[in-house]
Amino acid sequence: MFKKILIANRGEIACRVIKTARRMGIQTVAVYSEADKRALFVELADEAVCIGPAPSAQSYLVADKIIAACKQTGAEAVHPGYGFLSENAEFSRRLEEEGIKFIGPKHYSVAKMGDKIESKKLALEAKVNTIPGYNDAISGPEQAVEIAKDIGYPVMIKASAGGGGKGLRVAFNDKEAFEGFTSCVNEAKNAFGDDRVFIEKYVLEPRHIEIQVLGDAYGNYVYLNERDCSIQRRHQKVIEEAPSPFVDPDMRRAMGEQAVALARAVQYESAGTVEFVVGADKSFYFLEMNTRLQVEHPVTEYITGIDLVEQMIRVAYGEKLGFGQDEVKLDGWSMECRINAEDPFRGFLPSTGRLVKFEPPVEREDVRVDTGVYDGGEISMYYDSMIAKLIVHGTDRADAIRKMRDALNEFVIRGISSNIPFQAALLEHPRFCSGNFNTGFIAEEYPQGFDASMVPHDDPGLLAAVATFARMRYIERAVQISGQMAGHGRRVNKELVVLMGADKYPVSVEDLDGGLRIRQGEKTYDIVSDWTFRDRLFKGSVNGAPVCLQIERRGLRYHISHFGLQVQPMVMTEVATSLLERMPEKLPPDLSKLLLSPMPGLLREVAVQPGQEVKAGEKLAVIEAMKMENVLKAEQDCVVKKVVAHPGASLTVDEVIIEFE
């Protein structure tokens, strides 16, 4: 077996590879940019080599620097993770020439599957179902319209070298086909340096279902069941699960056999994923093959018991697969939530900065956390927004959903925003729970975006009761102050009011063995917990049922998070409540004459000058964060008074960029 391997990646996937390599007795080398010098993966690796500045184009994407690091450290092989150079055929070919093993498929397999037009032709030859379409280069928008009419609307116009939702348009008529083709060509040229575009039939109510395959150098191939990745937002996966609630055993076998046929056709040696788009009628069509480890690979590992990273390493070393198709099991149900540094209540804008508190759920047999960050670490603006992957394993789908909800309740992140409230809302959604969804689910159910009102909670009185419990614990500590005059100690009022948003909850409190009994009218909450003030997690039981939520005191309020819902109740006496109602309302400041940064990031461009008249919809500024450019536009006609921030500035949330007259 290899004695030492280099990991040409960063973050959680680098940590993930190190974990398996360490178990196999293999030493690891990390390569890192200057922005990642204190990153967790650098600390976990046996050796680490700095390969350049923060931008990935000057570090993680420079093959020469990675090859030099291999020679410097004596690494015999390279695991590329996903992203960066993982699907770069030229990189794997150069490693081969240098006598360094690439822990992944051969360069010719990567090249054939990396080109979407070429891969579709190969799929046809291998008798894999393909979507009706036009696979040759298209001369211009006029030809694109004619092709679209021949196929029949709706059609999908897609860049051959595309990915991540770039260079992709859906057209329902001639006008959209004409304009979509032009946009795709421009996007593809800018993003990938390749302006080739193809057109295919757009499948209505599509599901995104993928088959995990494994192959070795001796012609042995297996498929490891399917993953359903249909819950997507803007073509980015949000929740993945295995198996799929839509796939039956016959369909699984048919899709698996076709995936293996394609892998065999390109002499595939490693772990790879064949992606299918599946229609409502259970017809399935080849989409593309990812010639690398997928982000969502842990759900397959849970239901099969197979470590995919270990299999990749063994195959790269030259070993045969140690099992056949009949030995691949399907045990229970697994789900993965991608925990991203983004604010779901502000249009999912990136959120960067320091992780003031990072406490993931405790890992156990059925809960796994793959992450590359730590308490006090930094979320950088230079790389993607994923903080962690939360994976659970249940006996069936309902059990997996329940475990994921509970695990999200336990996941404490402070200092930056995360998409946990959105994930929790999805897991509570009746349509998701029924399994009746497709790739349009999020766009259909949240057409105006996401806000706090969309987070359901079946018992807000419970949150008021827990806030009361916390308040009473604080009062119990306060009454123990020393130096009180005899007979003049503080009398604890046990008739209180909880103010939560526009709602009032009058409560009365009684002592209970190990806790408190809190009455709200006809409802009673018997809360037993050993919670202390330093705990952000409130664990205990309410009326005998276990409960876990997040709570912390900030001023007069108790910030509570439970199943994605975030509330800030105040617990007061009736007198204090009546006095509060007499206080004048504090109006928010007028921000209409300011352009504020909606997120932390780098100010790339200011498109206006002082004194300039600006029309509604015109570009004002461009902010870059986490590999995404965000264009800020004028919401109404205005005149620029002053440009406060200038290009190159690092902005915080709500920092002033421009003042208007």
Residue 518: strand pairing partners:
509, 525
Query: Can you read off the two tokens belonging to residue 174?
Result: 């001639």
Say how far apart CA 160 and CA 569 lie, in whole Å.
53
Say how far apart CA 321 and CA 324 lie, in whole Å.
8
CA 361 to chain centre: 17
Verify whether residue 288 is a known catalytic residue: yes
The predicted structure's pLDDT at residue 214: 98
The predicted structure's pLDDT at residue 601: 87
In words, the CATH class of domain 460-479+492-581 is alpha beta
Query: Can you read off the two tokens belonging to residue 411?
Result: 């996941």
Query: Can you read off the two tokens belonging to residue 556?
Result: 């007069």
Sign for the CA dihedral angle at 77, 83, 87, 89 comes to negative
The predicted structure's pLDDT at residue 627: 65
Say how far apart CA 140 and CA 504 lie, in whole Å.
64
For the chain, the domains span: 4-103, 105-131+208-331, 133-201, 337-447, 460-479+492-581, 594-660
| Fold classified for 4-103 | Rossmann fold (3.40.50)
> What end-to-end distance do the CA atoms of the chain give, in Å?
70
Provide mean pLDDT across the span 595-610.
Answer: 91
- CB-based contact 507:496 (threshold 8 Å): yes
pLDDT band at 451 (very low <50, low <70, confident <90, very high): confident
The predicted structure's pLDDT at residue 73: 97
Provide mean pLDDT across the span 567-596.
Answer: 90
Query: Can you read off the two tokens belonging to residue 607?
Result: 């498109």
Q: Is the pLDDT of residue 162 over 70?
A: no
- CB-based contact 489:479 (threshold 8 Å): yes
- pLDDT tens digits, one per residue of 452-505: 888 888 899 999 999 999 999 999 888 887 777 777 767 788 999 999 988 999
* 31 compared with 121, residue with greater pLDDT: 31
pTM over 0.95: no
| Fold classified for 337-447 | D-amino Acid Aminotransferase; Chain A, domain 1 (3.30.470)
Instruction: Say which residues have a Cβ less than 8 Å from residue 301's Cβ, sequence separation at least 6.
Output: 307, 308
pLDDT band at 315 (very low <50, low <70, confident <90, very high): very high
For the domain with range 594-660, which CATH number is right: 3.40.50.300, 2.40.50.100, 1.10.10.2840, 3.40.109.10?
A: 2.40.50.100
* 424 compared with 115, residue with greater pLDDT: 424
The predicted structure's pLDDT at residue 164: 58
Q: Ranked by mean pLDDT, which of 25-29, 82-86, 120-124, 140-144 comes out on top?
A: 25-29
Per annotation, catalytic residue among 187, 288, 336, 552: 288
Provide mean pLDDT across the span 329-340.
Answer: 97
The predicted structure's pLDDT at residue 235: 86
Mean pLDDT taken over the chain: 93
CATH 3.30.1490.20 correct for 133-201? yes
- pLDDT tens digits, one per residue of 169-198: 899 999 999 999 998 888 888 777 788 888
Distances (CA, A) of 62 to 36, 66, 78, 463, 627: 16, 7, 14, 52, 17
- pLDDT tens digits, one per residue of 261-284: 999 999 999 999 999 999 988 989
- pLDDT tens digits, one per residue of 539-555: 999 999 999 999 999 98
Say how far apart CA 353 and CA 600 lie, in whole Å.
8
The predicted structure's pLDDT at residue 484: 72
pLDDT band at 588 (very low <50, low <70, confident <90, very high): confident
The predicted structure's pLDDT at residue 528: 97
Q: Ranked by mean pLDDT, which of 113-117, 285-289, 315-319, 622-626 comes out on top?
A: 315-319
The domain covering 105-131+208-331 belongs, at the CATH homologous superfamily level, to: ATP-grasp fold, B domain (3.30.470.20)
* 48 compared with 648, residue with greater pLDDT: 48
Q: Strand (E) positions, 352-394? A: 353-354, 357-359, 367-371, 378-379, 386-394
Is there a shared CATH topology between the 4-103 domain and the 594-660 domain? no
Three-state SS annotation for 178-210: HHHHHHHHHHHHHHHCCCCEEEEECCCCCEEEE
Sign for the CA dihedral angle at 543, 544, 545, 551 comes to positive
The helix/strand/coil state of 13 is helix
Question: Any alpha helices (H) in 281-348, and if so which ranges?
Answer: 297-304, 308-317
Please write down the long-range contacts of 427-435, taking CB distance under 8 Å and 24 or more positions apart. Answer: 427/239, 427/401, 428/455, 428/456, 428/563, 428/564, 432/231, 432/239, 433/398, 433/401, 435/245, 435/246, 435/397
Query: Can you read off the two tokens belonging to residue 482?
Result: 């020393």
